[in-house]
Amino acid sequence: MDLFSSFTDRIYAVDWRGIYNTVVIVVSIIDAVLVALFLYVLRLFGKLDSVKSENGTAADVSPIPVEKEVSENWERIRELINSKNPSDWNMAIIQADALLDDALVHLGYAGDTMGDRLKIVDPVQLPSVERVWSAHRLRNTIVHDPMVEHTRETVINALRAYQDAFRELGVLKEEI
């Protein structure tokens, strides 16, 4: 019984009000620092709209021409198809599909998805549209079932469809 009463005496002897006040002060300081940091980040975010060049004028932000984007990315796609690894071939198809989708967006084709944009493409302007649909279906198969291996010939035929589409759209001059 003596042990219990000495324990309770110690508990009651602690200045709990002082500890509470100290915790409130520390939490308030941390809160103030976090609010100041938040306001600083908001201020930096607001400055993103007014990017200045080195001479103090507003910097011109010009998108990369679609022809340059396609040719640079097409080189990487060619490297992937020349690999001996079938997963690189799959990646080449996925990247080619995304690149064509991006090119169609840059060229002003509307739609939420690549399929929507392909539906409104004029077959006169893009004679390879049916082959591109086939390549796009292959891309969907790869994405939804990545364990299925496709032959190199199948992948090359799909990439040729993408290549022909890029040429017909006037954004690529190279060959596989």
Query: Is the Cβ–Cβ distance between 65 and 107 less than 8 Å?
Result: no
What residues does 52 pair with on adjacent strands? 58
Burial class (CB in 10 A: 0-12, 13-18, 19+), 44: exposed
For range 135-164, the mean pLDDT: 92
Q: How far apart are CA 95 and CA 87, in angstroms?
A: 12
Does pLDDT of 56 surpass 80? no
Q: Which residues pair with 58 in a beta bridge?
A: 52
Q: Is 66-168 CATH 1.20.120? A: yes
Please identify which residue in the block is written with the tokens 């679609």. Answer: 66
Specify the DSSP class assigned to residue 173. Answer: -
What's the pTM? Answer: 0.63
Question: Helix or strand or coil: residue 163?
Answer: helix
146-156: pLDDT as tens digits: 888 899 999 99
| C-alpha pair distances (Å), 113 with each of 39, 55, 92, 159, 168 | 38, 41, 19, 20, 20
Domain boundaries, the chain: 2-47, 66-168
Q: Quick one: tokens of 158?
A: 């799909």
Rounded to the nearest integer, the mean pLDDT of the chain is 87
Which amino acid would we find at residue 169?
Answer: L
Contact 131, 161 (CB under 8 A): yes
Tokens encoding 137: 């279906």
pLDDT in tens, 99-117: 999 999 988 899 999 999 9
- Alpha-carbon distance of 130 to 82, in angstroms, equals 25
